[in-house]
Chains A and B, each alone.
Chain A
Amino acid sequence: MDVGFIILILAVLAALGHVVGRRRALALAAKSGVKLHSLPGYYGQTVALFTAVPAFVVLVAWLFVQPGIVESRVSGMIPDSVIPEGGARSLVMSDVRRIAGGLDAVLARDGQRGADVPIEALDFNNIRGRLAEVGVALGGDVPSEVFEAAKAFRENSRTGNLMMTVVVLAVAVVLGMLAYRRIEPELRARNISESFVKSLLLGASLVAILTTIGIVGSLIVETFEFFQRYPAQDFFFSTVWNPQFRGGSDLGILPLLWGTFYVSIISLIVAVPLGLLIAVYLSEYAGPATRGIVKPAIEVLAGIPTIVYGLFALVTVGPFLRDWLAQPLGLGTSSSSVLTAGLVMGIMIIPFVSSLSDDIINAVPQALRDGSYGLGATQSETIRQVVLPAALPGIVGAILLAASRAIGETMIVVLGAGAAAKLDLNPFEAMTTVTVKIVSQLTGDTEFGSPETLVAFALGLTLFVITLGLNVLALYIVRKYREQYE
């Protein structure tokens, strides 16, 4: 049965459970004369929750597990002989899945014509042509083993689906009945639905955490693959980045890391002072009218797509820096440079620093300012010596957020700084960053199993570890210097 349909049935059952549960609670209370522990609606809710939630969990779990089981069973049916040379079993399996889907389509069409064809009657002859008629294109002729496997795949999936429908609905009905039977006026229905809400919230946070774990896990697996094919010390300590399509590449991360840090640091040098001054002006000096205009205007910067910044860097800032600084000073002739990307990225992250810092400075209690004014301090003394130190942990957090944004930025670097991996101090040289290289290694016609592609995951993991380190450092600073206002 269709999953959407099952969910619909579950919803109907839950609604029904709510109604009958509520009615039963009221009836029992009226009969026994005992006051209900909770409002009648809560009794209905317990029945509804017991009906829908466990069944839904089973449904989701089943949907995750079933394809794996079916696949492993069917995959055993395919002999090595039908796997083309140089190909992978997974490719054949994807053929199997497509044929199985195609068979469904063929049968559905035949069914519409009135010809009730049993699956057994579908023979192997001209299967490619018949599948093509229903819009499933196959690359080559289908070996009979694959066709059999596809039939088995289809059978297995169908039985699996049927079992899933039965099990899910059974769970819903049985648990719903149990909950219904448990209803009595003393039942603490309110507490039960409360604990359901609690586990719902826990589940929501688990989704985020598990996703993170999943991402890191997949990064680690692929990185491990990479280090099987490429020596780790070359990756971490080689100063040459020179990928070759035919193998024998130099994949040293150092030039990329250097580019990343160089661009990020330039952008922070631009954004932090400007952002902080903006924040101080907005929170301490600007009147409400000015603030109401200036703050949203600055936040617009954060809403500009980074590719637009990239164009700005490419078309305006890059040539300007080249013509007015680099060439007169004899430092370079390239219009893409670290400085270009750094400047433009710095402008992009100004709102991260200014808006967050402004909020944080505003959160410093007025009492502290009064205390300082009361001692005869001027406004700027108060800001420098009382307000900013009190807001410092939050400001550090804002800066680190901006930094991680800068480190992860790709588009501005591609267009502003170029794609040449170089270790150089000259800010007018074109350089590139880790993120840019991740993109360029993963796109294009390279084989997935080669170190040239897998290096992207190693780069990603390194970047992740660096930003994680930054975040931990930020937390440590904030904890250590956090000031209690109260």
Chain B
Amino acid sequence: MMNNISTTMTTTPTKAPAMNEPKISARNVQVYYGEKHAIKDVNIDIRPRSVTAFIGPSGCGKSTFLRCINRMNDTIANCRVEGNISIDSENIYDPKVDPVQLRAKVGMVFQKPNPFPKSIYENVAYGPRIHGLARKKSELDDIVSSALQKAGLWGEVKDRLDSPGTGLSGGQQQRLCIARAVAVSPEVILMDEPCSALDPIATAKVEELIHELRENFTIVIVTHSMQQAARVSQRTAMFHLGNLVEENDTDKMFTNPDDQRTQDYIMGRFG
């Protein structure tokens, strides 16, 4: 394990000075589901305002690790997390941290689009409302329209903000969920296979959107599609059997990975 980290450390090229300080850093993270050891001693640094992709075969723990970053695993009864994850050098597993507040800072987009059974407007306004981000109706309107614009959905829905969010197409629903997450002004957005339920055209739109969101947000995306990881991310982390196998620049990862297992997975020999 330590070996892995040192590999990671040494192969991490130093870029712009602003990139030096990691947004998220995980140290010795272990996750157990009851007796099952799902994540084994993971150490990783995630850079601000960039896209980091988690890849790996099914059941490798990449989604589990993703859900540790906003403590979504707290909602699962027998799940236990050990180790240290800090965002902006603040340990999010510190007892003083309120997971509810944390999740306002670390938004999440799920595998299947899950708009609330409310209007499009109410879907986006939900987060700002519960966090009291707007004092007046006009402020809320502004937040909603700007979030929908950032999610590239404004043009398609601006005339029917009152119609139900569940009436949109799958791709639009997923962009609505992204708008919903963006509306709370998080710093980090976690995406758990956001395109796995979408058709190729909708996928292309969401990928384009991820590309644009990178300017303002730190994005971590779990994906099964190697092409997607290659297209949208700057850094890629490969998980296997609960271990972080390799973390590297995406370009290097897909051309000349350091680890044989990464090589095998990318070449389609397992997974």
Contact = CB atoms under 8 A, between A and B. Distances in A.
A375 B130 contact: yes
Interface in B59-84: 70, 72, 75
Contacts of B105: 376
A135 to B, nearest CB: 69
A386 B117 CA distance: 8
8 contacts: A365-B114, A373-B103, A374-B70, A374-B108, A376-B101, A376-B103, A376-B127, A378-B130
B72 A385 contact: no
A210 interface: no
A299 B70 CA distance: 39
B166 A374 contact: no
Interface stretch (B7-15, B31-39, B176-184, B237-245): B176-184
A478 B112 CA distance: 25
B213 to A, nearest CB: 16
Nearest to B116: A386
Contact of B116 (A368, A376, A378): A368
Nearest to A385: B126
Contacts of A133: none
A371 B100 contact: no
B164 interface: yes
B116 A372 contact: yes
A376 B104 contact: yes
Nearest to A369: B75
A255 to B, nearest CB: 43
Contacts of A390: 116-117
Contacts of B127: 375-377
Contacts of A370: 72, 75, 108, 110, 114
B107 interface: yes
Interface string A444-486: 0000000000000000000000000000000000000001110
B136 interface: no
A65 interface: no
Interface of B: 70, 72, 75, 100-105, 107-110, 112, 114-118, 126-127, 130-131, 164, 166, 177, 180-181, 184
Contact of B114 (A371, A378, A385): A371
A381 interface: yes
Most chain B beta-carbon contacts within 10 A, residue among A371, A389, A484:
A371
User: Which among A365, A373, A386, A484 has the greatest number of chain B C-beta atoms within 10 A?
Assistant: A373
Interface in A355-383: 365, 367-378, 381
A374 to B, nearest CB: 4
A389 B118 contact: yes
A372 B127 CA distance: 8
B100 to A, nearest CB: 5
Contacts of B108: 370, 374-375
A371 B114 CA distance: 7
Contacts of A373: 72, 75, 103
Contacts of A377: 100, 126-127, 130
A372 B126 contact: yes
B34 to A, nearest CB: 14
Contacts of A367: 110, 112, 114
Interface size class of A (residues with CB under 8 A): 20 to 34
Given A370-B114, A371-B116, 13 more contacts: A370-B75, A370-B108, A372-B126, A374-B108, A374-B109, A375-B180, A376-B127, A376-B184, A386-B116, A386-B126, A389-B118, A483-B164, A485-B166
Main DSSP-derived SS at the A contact region:
helix
A368 B104 contact: no
A132 to B, nearest CB: 74
B81 to A, nearest CB: 16
Interface of A: 365, 367-378, 381, 385-386, 389-390, 483-485
A375 B105 CA distance: 9
Contacts of B115: 371
A377 B128 CA distance: 10
Contacts of A376: 100-105, 127, 130-131, 184
Given A365-B114, A367-B112, A483-B164, A375 B72 contact: no
A367 B197 CA distance: 14
B35 to A, nearest CB: 18
Nearest to B131: A376
A370 B115 CA distance: 11
A60 B116 CA distance: 54
Contacts of B109: 374
A376 B99 CA distance: 8
Contacts of B110: 367, 370-371, 374
B117 A485 contact: yes
Contacts of A378: 100, 130
B118 A374 contact: no
A381 B132 CA distance: 13
B108 to A, nearest CB: 4
A385 B126 CA distance: 9
A316 to B, nearest CB: 41
A369 to B, nearest CB: 8
What are the nearest 3 A-B pairs in CB distance?
Answer: A483-B117, A376-B104, A374-B108
Contacts of B164: 483
B194 to A, nearest CB: 12
A373 B190 CA distance: 13
A375 B112 contact: no
Contacts of B126: 372, 375, 377, 385-386
A372 B75 CA distance: 12
A390 B122 CA distance: 13
Nearest to A390: B117
B72 A371 contact: no
Contact of B103 (A368, A369, A375, A389): A375
Contact of A374 (B112, B117, B131, B181): B181
Query: Which of B103, B114, B118 counts the most chain A CB atoms within 10 A?
Result: B114
A365 B115 CA distance: 11
Contacts of A374: 70, 72, 103, 107-110, 181
A397 to B, nearest CB: 16
Nearest to B102: A376
Contacts of A484: 117, 166
A367 B166 CA distance: 13
Residue of B110, B115, B130 contacting most chain A CB atoms (<10 Å) = B130
Contacts of B70: 374
A483 B166 contact: yes
A376, A385, A485 interface centre (most CB from chain B within 10 Å): A376
A236 to B, nearest CB: 42
Nearest to B118: A389
Contacts of B131: 376
A381 B105 CA distance: 17
